[in-house]
Amino acid sequence: MGNVNTDLQYFEQVIDEVKNNPNAYLLGLGDWIEGITPDDKRFELDTIDKNYLDGNLILNQVNYLKDKFKKLSSLDKIIGLHSGNHDDKLKKKFTMDFIKSICDELNIEYLGFSAYTRLKIVRDNRSTSFDIYSTHGSIAGRKKGNKINRLEEMSGWYDADMYFMGHSHDMFLSYDNQYYLTRKGKIAEKIKLFGNSGCFLKGVQYGTESYAEKANYSPNRIGYLKIKIYPELNLFTGQEINKLNR
C-alpha cells in the first residue's frame, strides 16, 4: 500500500471474495505497506501514490490496510498476518511494529517473520489437521529455480505439510513426495506443498520508474495462491490465481 503500481482495486476484490466465501480464509505473508521514506535508497517519487501525500505518508498506508482487514477480522476469517522486510524497516526506523499494532487492534494472530500454524478441521466428530510453515522469506537470486530450492530446503529444517514464502513478488507452486513409517510400522506416503505467495504490486510498469525497474528485475505477475483442502481425503491442492487469466 502506498505504491502507485499497486492494484488496489484487485486487492479489494480479493478481500471481498474471502469475505463472501464461507469456506475461505486468508494467510498473509508480509510487506503490506510500501513504507519507503526519502532517506531510503529505494525511494522513488514517481512511484508514490499521491493519495497518501498529505503529511502522513506511513499512517495513511497503515490506516488503509487496517480498514480493509477489518472486513475480515470481524468475521474471524484471517488465520494470521506476517510482517516483511518493508514492515521491519519501519519498525527499526520508528521503533513501532505497525503490523502488530493492526493485529492487536483487530484481534488478529500476529505471525511475525516466520510461524507454524496447525489447521484442524472437524466434521462429523472426525478431525483432520494440516501443518503449515510460513515465512516472509529472504532470498537472493532472480531465477525461479533458486526460489523453489530455498522453499524446498525448508522441509529439511521444519516438518510440515505446506510451506509458504513471500518476499520475491514471484508466484509459483511445487510438490514433493515423502515416505514415512506409520505407528504400525507400515510405509506410507505424503505430499508436501511449496508455494511462493504472489503479490498485488506490479514492480515494472509502463509510465513509472521504480526501484525494481532500475535494478532490472523481471516484470512480475499480480495474483495470489488459493489452497483447497479436502479433509475427508486428507488431501490439499494449490492453484495460482493470476489476474490476467483468473
Residues 3-22: pLDDT tens digits?
Answer: 889 999 999 999 999 999 99
What does the domain layout of the chain look like in residue ranges? 8-242
pLDDT of residue 141: 60
Residues 63-86: pLDDT tens digits?
Answer: 999 999 999 999 999 999 999 888
Q: What are phi and psi of 68, to 5 degrees?
A: -75, -40
| pLDDT (average), residues 33-50 | 79
Share of the chain above pLDDT 70, in %: 97
| pLDDT (average), residues 181-205 | 90
Length of the chain: 246
Q: How big is the CA angle at 147 (ends 191 and 134), to the nearest 5 degrees?
A: 55
pLDDT over 80 at 44, yes or no: no
Residues 94-115: pLDDT tens digits?
Answer: 888 999 999 999 999 999 999 9
Which range (178-187, 210-219, 232-241) has the least confidence? 210-219
Edge to edge, the sheet with strand 162-165 lists 114-123, 126-135, 162-165, 187-197, 171-181
| pLDDT (average), residues 49-54 | 76
- In this prediction the pTM is 0.89
- Structural element, H or E, at residue 229: strand 223-230
User: What's the distance, Cα to Cα, between the start and end of the chain in Å?
Assistant: 22
| Residue whose grid cell is 505518508 | 57
| Residue whose grid cell is 537472493 | 140
pLDDT of residue 224: 95
pLDDT of residue 169: 83
Rounded CA gap, 34 and 11, in Å? 15
The amino acid present at 220, given as its one-letter code, is N
pLDDT over 80 at 170, yes or no: yes
Q: How big is the CA angle at 147 (ends 176 and 7), to the nearest 5 degrees?
A: 110
**Whole-number average pLDDT of the chain:** 88
pLDDT of residue 90: 83
